[in-house]
Amino acid sequence: MDLGAGVRSFNAKSTTSYFTHLNHIKADKLNCNRATAYAFFRSHQNPFRRASMKVNSSSTDSISKVNVMSADDYSLDLELSSLAALCPLDGRYWSKVKDLAPFMSEFGLIKYRVLVEIKWLLKLSQISGVSEVPRFSREAESFLQDLIDQFNLDDALEVKKIEKVTNHDVKAVEYFLKQRCQSHPEINKVLEFFHFACTSEDINNLAHALMLKEALNKVILPSMDKLIRAICDIATASASVPMLSRTHGQPASPTTLGKEMAVFAYRLNREHEILSQIEVLGKFAGAVGNYNAHLVAYPDVNWPQVAEEFVTSLGISFNPYVTQIESHDYMARLFNSITLFNNILVDFDRDIWGYISLGYFKQITKAGEIGSSTMPHKVNPIDFENSEGNCGIANGGFSHLSTKLPVSRMQRDLTDSTVLRNMGVGLGHSLLAYKSALQGISKLQVNEASLNADLNNTWEVLAEPIQTVMRRYGVPEPYEKLKELTRGRAVTRERIREFIEGLDIPIEAKKNLLDLTPHTYTGEAEGLAKNLNLLRSSVNGARLS
């Protein structure tokens, strides 16, 4: 389920570029020529609206205490080249992770702060006890909603310019909104009720909650869905393909390739469901969580009820017991769940890597691709290696987030603020891991010849069923007899048949053992893999509610 009706998410498809456009940057301030820079900016499409570096005329009547800098002065702070980016997510891998940018970027944080501030002012206008903020007309409500719906990179740049002066990011949003609303006669009368009785963390915790929820619902969980479905497809397609198991890396009782893939699909899907059921929490209780300022200003208003109504109207569950901050326990739970999903994926990546090494899978090649810079015959399993590596980087960040965020000195310290700005790093590397694994899966081709050859050379795996039947019929020392037959010796089909023929067991039991081969000794593996169709139909796009 997506966010409730109280929140209108912006249309990512209608926006175009994350980077400052060259049209409004002076050529002599660039470290490259105009043509090169222009080509770079054009090549990096992103879900943000086209940015014009010109200052919107409606914002030039700034709050008197804020001196807005010129666009050209500020634009250089946003220059970014994929070759100069410190983080590979913003450089080499930008095209694969850019779908997260509208939510997890500085732009996304500012946008959701704007949304929360405006929604709070609208909520105040609906409280009968707050007579100083009368109910807005439909036209005024539409004006405020448009500030949310039409918020773009130009607007975010204006907020950042104000922040250069205020040195306070949330206050900069408040001043930006006051500037924008000065021209509206109805809203101009209640400008000071922007940010009324709020601490910055009232705004931030809800903005972070909305960022996470939107990013998970619209990017991360759908990507997990695709990955699970892709593994389900392998499982069902190869449900009956026999494969030698390798416990401890040694030949073991046969299985089917499909059943082993089904194990991963089931595990990943289970964690996906757990993740989608985690509650996203928010608070709106003022400086230390007690509604102190609220009650002094309006003692007759039931502020805890108002806060709960407001938070839940945004599609966020309400946390009534807080300090200055929402305690972030739900975030730790979210990040731990994603970490477990990623760890299961690492297990999958490593097993597929091993199966490729054994020849159980071939990799479909593309014309022009290089497998190894020096060995032309090689096609390296780089997609699964990339997936494993990015899961590791993501989980390292999530580990710190999940252990640090629930801990805050007394009623508040600021360590969470800087750490929360890195949520997008873990999500970005996770997304990259999922896409790498999907790319690797798309290249896989089952090599049944190699699977059959392994099974044909390991008749010793039938020692298990033979000694188990011997136990049933009271043959003494069955394990020891099979140990003597198989351990350290080459075991052929003929030796196995000779041993079975000499057993003192019922004829029907002997016949069943003689009919058994490494290819058919797979138990319920095929049925388990085929039953995964039920799981596949349950991968139905579960989202955070």
Query: Dmax over Cα atoms in the chain, in whole Å?
Result: 102
pLDDT at 57 over 50: no
pLDDT score of 246 more than 50: yes
**Residue 527 scores a pLDDT above 50:** yes
CA atoms of 497 and 387, how far apart (whole Å): 45
Residue-level pLDDT at 537: 54
CA 452, 456, 458, 464 dihedral sign is: positive
- Asked whether residue 67 carries a pLDDT value surpassing 50, the answer given is no
What is residue 485's predicted lDDT score, i.e. its pLDDT?
85
> 471 pLDDT exceeds 70?
yes
Q: What is the mean pLDDT of residues 68-92?
A: 63
Judge whether 288 and 411 are in contact, CB under 8 Å: yes
Residue-wise pLDDT for 441-452, tens only, equals 999 999 999 999
In this structure, are residues 426 and 335 in contact, taking their beta carbons and an 8 Å threshold? yes
Cβ(17)–Cβ(50) below 8 Å: yes
Written in H, E and C, the secondary structure of 113-163 is: HHHHHHHHHHHHCCCCCCCCCCCCCHHHHHHHHHHHHCCCHHHHHHHHHHH
139, with CB counted inside 10 A (0-12, 13-18, 19+), is exposed
| Nearby residues of 496 by Cβ (< 8 Å), 6 or more positions away | 459, 462, 466
pTM of the model: 0.84
Choice between 241 and 26, residue whose per-residue pLDDT is larger = 241
Enumerate residues 6+ apart whose C-beta is below 8 A from 24: 52, 53, 54, 71, 72, 75
Give the pLDDT score at 379. Answer: 77
Instruction: Kindly tell me if the per-residue pLDDT of 21 is higher than 80.
Output: no
Beta bridge mates, 255: 243
Assign 325 a pLDDT band (cuts: 50, 70, 90): confident
Residue 312 pLDDT level (bands cut at 50, 70, 90): very high
Q: Does the pLDDT at position 524 exceed 90?
A: yes
For 256, the enclosing helix (H) or strand (E) is strand 250-256
CA distance 122 to 194: 10
pLDDT the model gives residue 535: 61
- Catalytic site residues? 248, 372
Query: What mean pLDDT, rounded, does the chain reach?
Result: 85
Stretch 391-417: mean pLDDT: 91
Of the pLDDT bands very low, low, confident and very high (cuts 50, 70, 90), residue 11 is very low
Report the percentage of the chain scoring pLDDT > 70. 81
Q: Which residue has the higher pLDDT, 361 or 39?
A: 361
Condensed to tens digits (0 to 9), the pLDDT of residues 195-228 reads 999 999 999 999 999 999 999 999 999 999 999 9
What is the model's pLDDT at position 207?
97
Distance CA 407, CA 327 (A): 8
Please report, for residues 7, 119, 287, 309, 327, the alpha-carbon distance to residue 317 in angstroms, rounded to integers and kept in the order given: 14, 16, 20, 10, 13
Amino acid at 510: K
CB-based burial label for 295 (10 Å; 0-12, 13-18, 19+): middle
Over 70: is that where the pLDDT of 47 sits?
no
What was the pLDDT predicted at 425?
95
DSSP calls for 498-545? HHHHT--S-HHHHHHHHH--TTT--TTHHHHHHTHHHHHHH-S-----
User: Residue 63 has what pLDDT?
Assistant: 41
